[in-house]
Each structure stands twice: as structure tokens, then as C-alpha cells.
Amino acid sequence: VVEGQSIENLIRVLMAFPGVGRRSAERMVYFLMIDPSKRISVLTEALHAVSERVRRCRTCNGFAESDLCSICSDPRRDETRVCVVAEPRDLDAIERTGIYRGLYHVLDGLLSPLDGIGPRELSIEQLLHRIQNNRPEEILMALSSTVEGDATTSYIIDLLKSTGISLTRLARGVPAGGSLEYLDTRTLSQALTGREHIVEQ
């Protein structure tokens, strides 16, 4: 940080966040500077806690504050179903519907060869190991209806179609090109309830 440029530097750090433009970044910085000793320490402590405590769940690759996340360690969840999502925020969106009681698997992205994201960049290997060890009855593919989402679904279905596991996907109520995070809870609930079989066993 160049001397005398600390505020400009912070604005630029904030502008790197999704959906934050210069005006929003400036407003956040000015907000912090109204009571800096308090507001900055609250923010610093929150960032520190996340950085120290949050890691990936050993089983599902979602966010966790111990070896297993709160969903994987909950005995009331239905272990026979695994819902495959691209990112932790998709998991959160499905949890908000309150309909799904199974487990999850977070891929950490979608296949995108042009961006250099192949199967090895995603947690597909981890998913296969998990399926081999736990033999679930259903794998629900809950990826977005984008080119990358559909390609990733097809790739995983090809790997699993001979396993004898029921393979399902969200109903086509998900708008084409739509990302899960933009779906309202009702639409997502309908997509979950009306899920379609890709490979029925």
C-alpha cells in the first residue's frame, strides 16, 4: 500500500467482490470510518474467525467448523440421498426450502474447459469414493441449467450410470441459463419436489 493511499487501497479491495462497484465500496469505507475503532475491529474479528475456523467438510466438501459439517454430522439426515451442487451457496439455497432432508456434495465449480476447469479441478474423485463407500440410493444433480452445468451433469451421470444408483435432476422448472442462487424458494421447492429421473434403477 502506497503511503497516503490506504483508503483508495481498501476501496479497490472491496471492488474485487462480486457485485460491488466503486460507489458501494466507497460507501462501505466511509461507513467504517464513522467509528473506526469499533467498526473496523468488529470486521477484523469476523474475518479472523472465518479464516481460523472455517474449513471444508471431510465428507461433502461444504463449509464446516470441524471435521464434519453440521449436515453430515446430523443423524436425522437421510444418508441414502446425496444432492450434488456446484457451490456452498447452492447448498444454502436448497436448505432454505426445508424440503430436502438428504446429504450434499459440493463440487466447487462446474466443468469449463475454456477456463481450464476439468474434472480434476472439481471434487468429483471425492464424490466417487464416497459413493463407493456409502452406496446411496439416489444422487440428485442440482446444477444450474447453463452449458457448464449441463456438461457437468452429463459427465457425472456417465460415470455413475452403471452403478445401480437412481440418478435424478432438478425439474426443468429451473430457467435455462439460470443459476440456483437466483431462484426464489418456491421455484426451487417445485424443482426439488418434481425432480426427474435420468437413470431409474
Positions in 39-58 near Zn ion (CB under 5 A): 57
User: Pick from 72, 83, 94, 124: which binds Zn ion (CB under 5 A)?
Assistant: 72
The grid coordinates of residue 189 equal 421447492
What phi and psi values does residue 93 have, to the nearest 5 degrees? -65, -40
For Zn ion, the closer CB: 91 or 174 = 91
Closest approach of Zn ion to the CB of residue 153, in Å:
21
Rounded distance, CA 194 to CA 169, Å?
Answer: 9
Piece in contact with Zn ion (CB under 5 A), picked from 59-67, 108-116, 145-153, 171-179: 59-67
141 near Zn ion, rule: CB under 5 A = no
Size of the site for Zn ion (CB under 5 A): 6
For Zn ion, the closer CB: 7 or 128 = 128
Find out whether 137 and 165 touch, Cβ atoms under 8 Å. yes
Query: How do beta strands 138-141 and 78-85 pair?
Result: parallel
CB atoms within 10 A of CB 82: 23
Find out whether 112 and 148 touch, Cβ atoms under 8 Å. yes
Site map 160..179 versus Zn ion, x via CB under 5 A: --------------------
Residues that bind Zn ion (CB under 5 A): 57, 59-60, 62, 69, 72
